[in-house]
Amino acid sequence: MVPRRKTRVAAPPPVCPLTTCMRLLGGAWTPNILWYLRESPRRFSELKGDLQGVSAKTLSARLRKLERDGVLSREVKPTSPPTVEYRLTTLGGRLIPAIEAIVDVGHQLKRLRAVR
Amino acid sequence: MVPRRKTRVAAPPPVCPLTTCMRLLGGAWTPNILWYLRESPRRFSELKGDLQGVSAKTLSARLRKLERDGVLSREVKPTSPPTVEYRLTTLGGRLIPAIEAIVDVGHQLKRLRAVR
DNA sequence: CTGTATCCTTGGCGATACTG
DNA sequence: CAGTATCGCCAAGGATACAG
């Protein structure tokens, strides 16, 4: 008679690094924003075009939160008309490998089956 | 009088690989569920204990969706009282590297600063 | 133990209009 | 161009009660 196994899954993270990170990625458009910033800075309207269907309000809110979280930086260019450039910070860059892993799985899924 | 209609025109989101994969991971507890299943099967109440604070309704809903998506399988054991085991499918296993990448960033964040 | 049914609150997000 | 303000819908999710 085997006693009830104590499947304490390895070292269950106390306050969950997973949750810690997912708080940064939370929100419908957040991963996509970071994805489009992964190689070069983008302007507000460029991002709005990249993320087909996002509202200005939501994009603005996400960008401000990501800035507060230290994931990206905002720079106003003294041009006319004014333009604003967003770019990943060092911290933001650390998130890219995780997003790449997600994108990679997405590719696998598309090959495996026609996903809706 | 018919109040003016609130143009309910859901914009079809672009289906990039990132979005494709995030649909599987969408939902507050989903990544954590997969994380706790990564090494061994777990029962309903075990998962409920792992995910401190999740309601039975939500956990049930997430598990059913993940089952429909082919990410995990559900097996009813003919014991008394009945127990149910959930385990990752092959497809579910493919998601683990992505989640590990997220967990890894979470660890980095915790080292870098005290994250709320 | 393993869920499902019902009710209710919260907030995420789009749409629209307006500002610098 | 780059946002902010306001409105309102709707779905995610907790609480609770109930069922097999």
pLDDT tens-digit map of A21-58: 999 998 899 999 999 999 999 999 999 999 999 999 99
pLDDT, tens digit, 9 for 90 and up, residues A51-66: 999 999 999 999 999 9
Residues in chain A: 116
Would you call A77 helix, strand, or coil by DSSP? strand
- Smallest CA-to-CA distance from A34 within A83, A103, A84 is with A103
User: What is the C-alpha separation between B111 and B68, in angstroms, rounded?
Assistant: 37
Q: What is the mean pLDDT of residues A70-88?
A: 94
Percentage of chain B exceeding pLDDT 90: 72
Main-chain dihedrals φ then ψ at residue B26, nearest 5 degrees:
-60, 155
Contacts of strand D, CB cut-off 7 Å? A 43-46, 56-57, 60, 63-64, 74, 81-84; B 6, 8, 27-29, 53-58, 61-62, 81-82
Task: Collect all residues of chain A within an 8 Å Cβ-Cβ radius of residue B105.
Answer: 17, 21, 94-95, 97-98
Residue B57 has pLDDT above 50, yes or no: yes
pTM here is: 0.86
